[in-house]
Amino acid sequence: MTEKEKMLNGELYDSSDKQLVDELIKAKKLCNQYNKLDVEDIEKGNEIIKKLFSKTGNEFMIMPNFYCDYGFNIKIGEKFYSNHNLVILDANKVTFGNNVQIGPNCGFYTSGHPIDKETRRKLEFAKPITIGNDVWIGGNVCVMPGVTIGDNTVIGAGSVVTKDIPSNVVAVGNPCKVIKEL
């Protein structure tokens, strides 16, 4: 099994594998191109995002700066919007539904590291993240490996989402917890 296959299976893998490093560099170059575009060059920006991501809707906007690890693990639905400084560490699948709005300075981190120092020095793991439809994520939110956020949910600014959040709720805090049903 290749290191990429291990990565996508959520198993421990070596991120310094040549294939993974080459794909990481390719994505970083595309992110760099995207972030250097004039703000009015929306069509060229969308072309770059479509090269990076495995799936996009027809209507989307990602404000620069944007960073990801590989890009090929990211899917966005229709009418996706992200404010400035979105970071997606996509060593595993990151899926966003339709009508998702993301505030500035948010991070979606599929990558994690073993607690044991000897293992951590060599290997890491990644778990998928899934965001439902009609989700609003406030500024400065961190979504951690393996988390699912349900449909029609609001995540309050500054939250750290470490566990699944159901549909139709408002959730806030560190760690993020449901405070209200919608």
Q: Can you give the residue range of the structural domain that contains 109?
A: 3-181
Given the residues 113, 148, 157, 158, the one annotated as active site: 113
Q: What is the pLDDT of residue 40?
A: 87
Backbone angles phi, psi at 46, to 5 degrees: -65, -35
In the residue annotation, 113 being an active-site residue is answered as yes
- Where b means 16+ CB within 10 Å and e means fewer, 99-135 reads bbebbebbbbbbbbeeeeeeeeeebbbbbbbbbbbbb
Digit-coded pLDDT (tens) for 79-93:
999 999 999 999 999
The total number of structural domains in the chain stands at 1
Judge whether residue 39 has pLDDT over 90: no
Mean pLDDT of 25-33: 98
Q: pTM for the complete prediction?
A: 0.96
Mean pLDDT along residues 45-66: 97
- Tell me the CATH number at 84: 2.160.10.10
